[in-house]
Amino acid sequence: MAFTDKQIHCSDCGNEFTFTAAEQEFFQEKGYTNEPKRCLPCRQARKAEKGGGSRGPMQKFPAICAQCGKETEVPFEPKQGRPVYCSTCYSQMRQNQN
């Protein structure tokens, strides 16, 4: 199927942008059925607004390993009554399960 460049109006800023033949072919290969609604600057602004792709550093929470007693940090807030393990002990537990 031959594609030709297509002009589309951005749903955010209203400016016209080109949906190139190469982009259309890419969309078809990926199985996308909808055309883009936003121009590149508006897509980038929306992505930055949502934090897409460039997340800041992951929040870590202090914890004590339930197996070895070592102080550690985990990427979730520990809950009372649930064991938390340091990365070494957690890895050992996972290996023992397999």
pLDDT in tens, 58-93: 788 999 999 999 999 998 999 999 999 999 999 998
- CA 94 centroid distance within chain: 26
Please provide residue 51's backbone torsions phi and psi, each rounded to the nearest 5 degrees: 80, 20
Residue among 32, 4, 30 at smallest CA distance from 19: 4
Q: What is the mean pLDDT of the chain?
A: 89
Residue among 92, 84, 88 at smallest CA distance from 66: 84
Three-state DSSP class for 42?
helix
Identify the pLDDT of residue 54. Answer: 53
Reported as a pLDDT band with limits 50, 70 and 90, residue 55 is: low
Give the DSSP H/E element, type plus range, for residue 18. strand 16-19
